[in-house]
Amino acid sequence: MFRSPAFFTFAAYGSLRAFPLDPSAFGDCLYCRGLLTASVLARLSMAVYRNVKWGEPCTRAIISDAHGFVHITLSLPRPCEIDAGQYVLLCVPRVSLLSFAQSHPFVVASWAEVGQNSIELIIQPRRGFTGKLLRHCRRQGGQSVQRRAFITGPHGTNVAVNDYRTVLLVASGPGVIAMLPYLRKVIHGYYYRKGCTRRVHLIWMIQQIELVAAAQPFLNEFLDDDTLGESYVSFARTPG
C-alpha cells in the first residue's frame, strides 16, 4: 500500500541502491528488486487508472467547512466501486508546501450499489494535514475550494450486515461517519429485497453539536429513503 505519491520515487531509488557487496547474493537481490519494481509499476498503473481518464478532468476535491468539520466531495474521472466500511488514501498537493508527498486514509461516508463518480468524506480536523485542510478552506472566506486531488483505493473490508435480521450500529462522535455507508446499504437492501435485515438501530453518543450539523444532511437523506413509511430505522441520542 502506498502512503503517498512520493513513495514511488523512494521505492525506485531504493531498488537501484539495494545491490549487495557479496556477489553470491546478487541473484537473490536482483529477484527481490524485480518483485519490488513489478509491484511499484502495478500500483502506479492502478493509481493512474483511478485518477486519470482521457478526455475527462482528473480527480478533483471540493473542500468546504461544515460547521468546523471538513467536508470533501471527490469528483472522479471514472466510477469507483466502494463498499461500506472501506477507505481511500487522499493526497491534495496544494494544501501545503509538502502535502504533495503525503496521503492520508479517510473512510468514505457515501455508498452506492454501483460505481460512484462522486464520493463524500467528512473529516474531523486535528493537527497536521486535516487541520491544514480546514485552514486552507477558511482562508478563502469560508467558501468551497476546488483543488486537484490524488486517491488510491478503495482499501479495507466490509461486514455483511445484510445477512442479519436486526442490525445494531453503535458509534461515538466522528465514528458515526463509518456507520453511514452501512446504514445506506441496509436501507437499500431492505427495499430491493437484497438482504434479510428488517430492523436497524443507530446509537450515536454525541459530545459535539457541530458534528451533528455536519452529519445532518446524510442522516436526513437516509430518513427520506424510508418511503414505505415503516419506520424500521430508529435513532437515539444520549443526553448531555
Using CA atoms, how far apart are residues 24 and 101, in angstroms rounded to an integer? 37
Using CA atoms, how far apart are residues 234 and 209, in angstroms rounded to an integer? 19
Using CA atoms, how far apart are residues 99 and 80, in angstroms rounded to an integer? 24
CA 46 to chain centre: 16
Cell of 31: 529477484
pLDDT the model gives residue 229: 55
Q: With contact defined as beta carbons under 8 Å apart, do 122 and 69 qualify?
A: yes
Query: Comparing C-alpha atoms, which of 6, 12, 10 is closest to residue 102?
Result: 6
Query: Comparing C-alpha atoms, which of 36, 30, 233, 46 is closest to residue 151?
Result: 46
Q: Between the CA of residue 28 and those of 16, 21, 25, 37, what are the distances in Å?
A: 14, 12, 5, 14
* Residue 119, strand partner residues: 74
Q: In this predicted model, what pLDDT tens digit does every residue of 43-53 receive, in sequence order?
A: 777 778 778 87
> Domains of the chain: which residue ranges?
6-51, 60-155, 161-237
Using CA atoms, how far apart are residues 222 and 65, in angstroms rounded to an integer? 22
Q: In this predicted model, what pLDDT tens digit does every residue of 116-170 receive, in sequence order?
A: 888 999 988 888 888 888 888 888 776 788 888 888 888 888 888 888 888 888 8
Per DSSP bridges, beta strands 116-123 and 145-148 are: unpaired
Per DSSP bridges, beta strands 199-205 and 166-172 are: parallel
Q: With contact defined as beta carbons under 8 Å apart, do 179 and 219 qualify?
A: no
For the domain bounded by 161-237, which CATH number is listed?
Answer: 3.40.50.80
Q: In this predicted model, what pLDDT tens digit does every residue of 156-204 receive, in sequence order?
A: 888 888 888 888 888 888 888 888 888 888 888 888 788 788 888 888 8
Topology of the domain covering 60-155: Elongation Factor Tu (Ef-tu); domain 3 (2.40.30)
